[in-house]
Structure 1
Amino acid sequence: MARKDIISETSNRQEVEDFLSQARGLSVSAPASGPSQGRLIFAMDATASRQPSWDRAAEIQAEMFDAVDGVGALDIQLVFFRGLSECKASGWCRNAKSLRNYISKVSCHAGHTQIERVLAHVERESANGKVDALIYVGDCIEENPDHLAPIAGKLALKGVKTFMFQEGYDRDASFAFGEIARITDGAFMQFDASSAKKLRDLLGAVASYAVGGQNGLSDYQKKTGSDDVLKLGYQLRKKS
């Protein structure tokens, strides 16, 4: 399995508004018709409490590829953190079997959240080729949101929208995840442990957006009839 360690990066919070202003001026966004190929980073919290959710994600990740079948190609990279300092990325996958192979080989270990390292990795990865979207799935945060905002600003400059999906309703996580989504013109959604279908629909929605832009997202919503996908699309339209 090809993996690489992810090195953390920090910035000053004062830079955030400057980044946002520049990002708005550049108007970096997915075109209405959408590209024929998308690149998406799928990041998950793999600390100890997340094992049931991790196993569930392994089962439903195929929806991201199924959603764009016949529409375009989708490359997905898995990123996860666990333990006290482990944060790694897989190679790029273009089918559900390859991604599942990566996910199934990871077990969750006790540790702290490392969202800052995830965002820094995505920012570096986007320098090697356009990254259309980041999906992050987690339930809590143990980091200072002020350290995350500047890196989110860098993602906004590069046109990477973040889709922050929170399992549960931890207040601190809701605030931080919402801010990251806001800064990058992405979306923030919550779900509970029994909402496998909701998470599946949301994963498919982001994949559709990464490959087909707003049109791809709209087509996926019509196909699924999902109110949650409709709400996600509404967040994106509000920011466009």
Structure 2
Amino acid sequence: MASDKPDLPAGVSSPASSIDSFLDAARSLGPLRAGEGGGRLAFALDATASRQPTWDLACALQAEMFDVTAGLGGLKVQLVYYRGADECRSSPYVADTRALGRLMGQIACQGGRTQIGRVLRHLQGEAERSGLKAAVFVGDAMEEDAEALLLDAGRLGVHGVRLFVFQEGNDPHVERTFREMARLTGGAWCRFDAGAANELRTLLRAVATYAAGGQSALLTSRDAGAKRLIAAMGR
């Protein structure tokens, strides 16, 4: 993945109009200037066909990640997603919930295989380039070599990036790999259930708190999601 551009190599199966819409929205945001404050969080999502309902849920919940961090110096979020045959893209970091909502609104889920390895390698590049320390990954499937993914996750851990993995569904093979990915980075694994929107809301708020204020902010938070996330990080 190229770490200095909002667009990444696209798959041939993606409609040109949807790609152009995403790129136009991403480019209009502009990159952060060097020295700008605020914590950084990568928000990476599987946008393959099975995930449209929870993509819509994530769109609805993302605004609260910004709200909860206002008193901690703010939050800059980069959207990363994959879908289709070979499409994997990232946005610039944004500090505006409406801007991120517009970006997510440009994307419709499409069939395709998982590209988790590309996401993990991109996050490693972001750690080197921008000092990224926290990332969320939301997905329901894993069609890649588990050992290769764990190697990439271990490298993320070496770079000091904590990965918070939210799994949709109950596939035990996926769960084993996702849990280990999170453990290798010192992050946490949690279930992502579209029927538990309030629980998801508190967990995303907790991750945002960590990204903006570090573990001390998480430890002093009174949010129920922070307590669950701290417990999950200790497993």
When normalised by structure 2's length, the TM-score is 0.83
User: Which of 209, 218, 233 does residue 230 from structure 2 map onto?
Assistant: 233
CA distance in 2, matches of 1:48, 1:95: 27
> Could you tell me which residue of structure 1 aligns to residue 107 of structure 2?
106
Counterpart-to-counterpart distance in 1, 2:198 and 2:217: 20
Deviation digits for residues 3-32 of structure 1, max 9, x if unmatched? Answer: 22169xxxxxxxxxxxxxxxxxxxxxxxxx
Q: How many residues align?
A: 205
TM alignment of 1:23-172, pairs within 5 A? 37-172=38-173
The alpha carbon displacement at 1:235 in A equals 3.0
Letter in 2 for 1:97: R
The residue identity in structure 1 corresponding to 2:217 is G
Letter in 1 for 2:119: V
What's 1:3 paired with?
Answer: 6
Structure 1: which 4+ aligned runs deviate by more than 6 Å?
Answer: none
In the alignment, is the contact (CA less than 8 A) between 2:57 and 2:194 conserved in 1? no
Instruction: Give yes or no for contact 1:6–1:118 (8 Å, CA) kept in 2.
Output: no
Q: Which runs of 5+ in 2 are unaligned?
A: 11-36
Q: CA deviation at 1:208?
A: 0.3
Cα distance in 2 for residues equivalent to 1:229 and 1:125: 25
Q: Do the aligned partners of 1:6 and 1:89 also contact (CA within 8 Å) in 2?
A: no
CA distance in 2, matches of 1:168, 1:216: 30
CA distance 1:199–1:233, change in 2 (3 Å): same
After superposition, what is the alpha-carbon deviation per residue over 1:59-108, rounded to whole angstroms, capped at 9, x for unaligned?
11011101111221211000000001101001111110111011000000
Q: Is the 8 A contact 1:168 1:193 kept in 2?
A: no
TM-score by length of 1: 0.81
Identity level (%):
42
Question: Given residue 139 of structure 1, which amino acid in structure 2 is its aligned partner?
Answer: D
Aligned to 2:195: 194
In 1, the alpha carbon distance for the partners of 2:9 and 2:231 equals 33
The CA RMSD over aligned residues, in Å, is 1.6
Cα distance change on mapping 1:145 and 1:75 into 2, 3 Å? same
Give CA-to-partner distance per residue, 1:143-164, whole Å, 9 cap, x none: 1111111111111111000000
Query: In the aligned structure 2, how far is the partner of 1:109 from the partner of 1:201?
Result: 28
Partner of 2:128, secondary structure, is: coil
Structure number with higher relative contact order (C-alpha < 8 Å, ≥ 6 residues apart): 1
Structure 1 gap ranges (5+): 8-35
- CA separation in 2, counterparts of 1:6 and 1:157? 26
Letter in 1 for 2:7: K
Check the 8 A contact 1:140/1:172 in 2, yes or no.
Answer: no
* AA partner of residue 156 (structure 2): L
Contact conserved, 1:6 with 1:121, CA < 8 A, in 2?
no
Aligned counterpart, 2:215: 214
